[in-house]
Amino acid sequence: MPGKHPDHPLADFKVGIDNVIFSVDTEQHRLLVLLVMRHEDPFIGQWSLPGTLVRQGESLETASYRVLSEKIRVNNLYVEQLYSFGGPKRDPREAEHAYNVRYLSVSYFALVRFAEAELIADGVSGIAWYPLNQLPELAFDHEEILTYGTLRLRNKVKYSPVVFDILPEMFTLSDLYQLYITILGDDFSDYSNFRTRLLKLGFLKDTGIKTSRGAGRPASLYRFEADAFEPLKDKPMVFV
Amino acid sequence: MPGKHPDHPLADFKVGIDNVIFSVDTEQHRLLVLLVMRHEDPFIGQWSLPGTLVRQGESLETASYRVLSEKIRVNNLYVEQLYSFGGPKRDPREAEHAYNVRYLSVSYFALVRFAEAELIADGVSGIAWYPLNQLPELAFDHEEILTYGTLRLRNKVKYSPVVFDILPEMFTLSDLYQLYITILGDDFSDYSNFRTRLLKLGFLKDTGIKTSRGAGRPASLYRFEADAFEPLKDKPMVFV
DNA sequence: ACAAAAGTGTTGTGATTACACCCATGG
DNA sequence: CCATGGGTGTAATCACAACACTTTTGT
């Protein structure tokens, strides 16, 4: 195979993965993305999505999980592949090599529970949750990746029950409502209709336990019933 | 950067693209995918998705389009990136190299007009449209890629107007209905309700021209009005 | 007592479904 | 004149948005 098309030599690639890790701070109603400070060239001193280059024998998913677990400790999370960015000239390191190496990035999208996500400080590393509306300038083409990830997040929560992966086991219906508002903005149905719709779907089980948060009537804690959701899995369904 | 983690050497990749090219033969009500016969090892003599390895200086999209245009001549098509498969051991060529080279495949999804898609016979090459329900055994992990592509196709046509990219300029409403049936199966609303719904959306313009196909009342030819669809672009909308 | 938050009910409107039925053509 | 496919109409049901109202708590 090599040398077969001498006029059209194949490109050699290093493959990186970049994680777009979202979380929601329900207390402060903020949608957050995890960024890390770069300590190496290129883009030293700039914020970037947590990523890494894929090692020998390592799958893409493993590499993605490796960086994630180096940065945060988390119990529950949702992950899926996002997109691959692989054009020439997207990484300045390509110029450094005499031999023509390309850098391709496979991006992953993750959603984690904010309360349980403990950032791992390794002494030097800058690592922080940034609200989506107060982003710093990002390295590489990470802004494009993040934009695409945000689009996917907003679509995902509308049509699939991913949010239950990042809510606690038991939650009130206003927790759920607030979560949607924080992710999507507040331009959808009012709380009362939201309640009725979600409850009619039948996969939220009232535990009977009440919780009181300051003034106001105590709220019931609900649980997401995966079994009851199962039959609805493939139905088109808008959650908000 | 090289030599920084001597315990964890980076993997070197060749990047391939594989196209899942769908078309619909409306006459015969068959959903088709384009396959090519391999003339090289590995998997010589087996059918596979049309793919290629990415060349120096070439973007992923360009590579994808290059193979596509080597295989068929087509006027109208819809393309989007599908998924990246990159685990170790997915390509037997990895074993051939003394040095550890990995093969990553970025798959692309395409939808082309059957009537205008002229297959390019280059003398040797086997190339053929295969009905989705009569597939031969496929090389590599192409079956997995195709399964994923099919899923994407079915979702795509439900929520976006891609089908109009592969219908002729002017078409009857039963053409449209038949097309959906061929892609999705016939378990959705009846023709009469399908009509009403689509017409109410307002982006199908009756040209007034009638067409007669054998017996029965002649049908009106409709045109898809991109302008009229524009404002509906971001609304959640089920087409069938 | 009253504010705050949770939860219920009502009402009008519009979408969806399952049909029955009419229309225009070829044989 | 009838089979064939195109096209219209309708009535029952259901989903949805807006919003008024009741309930249960803390202060």
CA distance A7 to A10: 10
Q: Do A86 and B60 touch (CB under 8 A)?
A: yes
Confidence (pLDDT) at B157: 94
* Distance in Å, alpha carbon of B221 to nearest chain A alpha carbon: 30
Q: Contact at 8 Å (CB) between A38 and A45?
A: yes
**A84: contact with B, CB 8 A cutoff:** yes
Report the pLDDT averaged over residues A35-54. 95
Q: Contact at 8 Å (CB) between B202 and B231?
A: no
Confidence (pLDDT) at A96: 65
Whether B6 has a pLDDT exceeding 70, the answer reads: no
Confidence (pLDDT) at A1: 43
Report the pLDDT averaged over residues A37-51. 94
Q: Contact at 8 Å (CB) between B225 and B203?
A: yes
CA distance A52 to B210: 60
Which of B58, B60, B238 is nearest residue A84 as measured by Cβ atoms?
A: B60
Nearest CA in chain B to A39: B1
Report the pLDDT averaged over residues A28-51. 95
Task: Please choose, from the candidates A140, A136, A159, A20, the residue with its C-alpha nearest in 3D space to the C-alpha of residue A86.
Answer: A140
Spacing of A220 CA from D24 C1' in Å: 12
Residues of B in contact with A238 (CB under 8 A): 236
Confidence (pLDDT) at A80: 98
Where are the extended beta strands (E) located within A148-187?
170-171
* pLDDT tens by residue, A74-119: 988 999 999 999 988 887 877 766 577 999 999 999 999 998 899 9
Q: Contact at 8 Å (CB) between A33 and A148?
A: no
Q: Do A86 and B15 touch (CB under 8 A)?
A: yes
**A3: contact with B, CB 8 A cutoff:** no
Q: Contact at 8 Å (CB) between A51 and A105?
A: yes
Average pLDDT, chain B: 91
In the three-class reduction of DSSP (H, G, I as helix; E, B as strand; rest coil), residue B104 is classed as strand
For strand C, the positions having any atom within 7 A of a protein Cβ are: 3-9, 16-20, 23-27
* pLDDT tens by residue, B62-78: 999 999 999 999 988 99
**A209: contact with B, CB 8 A cutoff:** no
User: B95 Cβ partners below 8 Å, 6+ apart?
Assistant: none
pLDDT band at A8 (very low <50, low <70, confident <90, very high): confident
Residues of A in contact with B86 (CB under 8 A): 15, 54, 59-60, 106
User: A72 Cβ partners below 8 Å, 6+ apart?
Assistant: A21, A34, A112, A117, A118, A119, A120
In the three-class reduction of DSSP (H, G, I as helix; E, B as strand; rest coil), residue A9 is classed as coil
Q: Do A11 and B57 touch (CB under 8 A)?
A: yes
**A29: contact with B, CB 8 A cutoff:** no
pLDDT band at A186 (very low <50, low <70, confident <90, very high): confident
Confidence (pLDDT) at B3: 43
Confidence (pLDDT) at B70: 94
* pLDDT tens by residue, B12-56: 999 999 999 999 998 899 999 999 999 988 999 999 999 999 999
Whether B163 has a pLDDT exceeding 50, the answer reads: yes
* Distance in Å, alpha carbon of B81 to nearest chain A alpha carbon: 8
Confidence (pLDDT) at A6: 61
Which of A5, A12, A60 is nearest residue B87 as measured by Cβ atoms?
A: A60
* Distance in Å, alpha carbon of A96 to nearest chain B alpha carbon: 11
Whether A219 has a pLDDT exceeding 50, the answer reads: yes
**A9: contact with B, CB 8 A cutoff:** yes
CA distance A156 to A22: 12
pLDDT band at B2 (very low <50, low <70, confident <90, very high): very low
CA distance A123 to A128: 13
pLDDT band at A125 (very low <50, low <70, confident <90, very high): confident
Residues of B in contact with A95 (CB under 8 A): none
* pLDDT tens by residue, B135-149: 999 999 999 999 999
* Distance in Å, alpha carbon of A55 to nearest chain B alpha carbon: 4
Whether B5 has a pLDDT exceeding 60, the answer reads: no
User: Which B residues in the span 123-142 are in contact with A, Cβ-Cβ below 8 Å?
Assistant: none
